[in-house]
A and B are shown apart, each in its own frame.
Chain A
Amino acid sequence: EAQVTQNPRYLITVTGKKLTVTCSQNMNHEYMSWYRQDPGLGLRQIYYSMNVEVTDKGDVPEGYKVSRKEKRNFPLILESPSPNQTSLYFCASSYVAGHPGNEQFFGPGTRLTVL
């Protein structure tokens, strides 16, 4: 089954404790992206990756890091989380271009609370 998976689904942590949210896709997509969703603000892009070892900042990258060592995985790293990073996070993937029916597939989301 074609899917994007994220782990963990729920996480409560404390300020300053480093954490990683994993994202994996099995569709051989080149493009992967992280979003945060906050009430009234929609989906805001944090970072994206066009392919292995190619990453770039989105609209709200401060306080986050990513890596793309393998095509299928795109982890999101919060090295020193703060309460303003409490949010719902989505990973997504798609082909870069040229595929009929291309769409961005979303993972199930990770609800992060930073105390």
Chain B
Amino acid sequence: GENVEQHPSTLSVQEGDSAVIKCTYSDSASNYFPWYKQELGKRPQLIIDIRSNVGEKKDQRIAVTLNKTAKHFSLHITETQPEDSAVYFCAASIHSSARQLTFGSGTQLTVLP
């Protein structure tokens, strides 16, 4: 089955700096890649996703890039703010949709004021 690896497990940045989280996947058939943000004590919530027919997608300060050849995708957060502090999960699916996601192990992002 699919295996998703996520790095780093923890990341600390100064407010205003950029943060990058990287994931690799094993199944070349994977075609849907969402990113979830989980604040302390809360449920995971989708922040951005990308499908395999697109190389990059942006939404304000958040962007995701996908390299199908290398089987990796990354989350980029620019101009980080304290409210960006959370655990971020990447995921992958072969179904072009949100079902049957395989998740990475998560990255604890801390934005220092």
Interface size range on A against B: 20 to 34
| Total B residues in contact with A, Cβ cutoff 8 Å | 23
Interface residues of A in 84-115 (CB under 8 A from B): 90, 94-98, 102-104, 106-109
Interface residues of A in 10-37 (CB under 8 A from B): 31, 33, 35
**Known: A96-B97, A104-B98. Is A90-B43 also a contact (CB below 8 A)?**
yes
Interface residues of A (CB under 8 A from B): 31, 33, 35, 40-45, 48, 50, 59, 90, 94-98, 102-104, 106-109
Contact assessment for A41 and B98 in the assembled complex, using a CB-CB cutoff below 8 Å: no
Query: Chain B interface secondary structure, helix, strand, loop or mixed?
Result: loop
Closest to B106 in A: A42
A104–B16 CA distance with the chains assembled, in angstroms: 30
Contact assessment for B6 and A97 in the assembled complex, using a CB-CB cutoff below 8 Å: no
Interface residues of B (CB under 8 A from A): 1, 6, 9, 34, 42-46, 49, 89, 95-106
A and B contact pairs by CB, cutoff 8 A, 21 listed: A31-B99, A33-B99, A40-B9, A40-B106, A43-B103, A44-B103, A45-B100, A45-B101, A48-B100, A90-B43, A90-B44, A95-B98, A96-B99, A97-B97, A97-B99, A103-B49, A103-B98, A104-B34, A104-B99, A104-B101, A106-B45
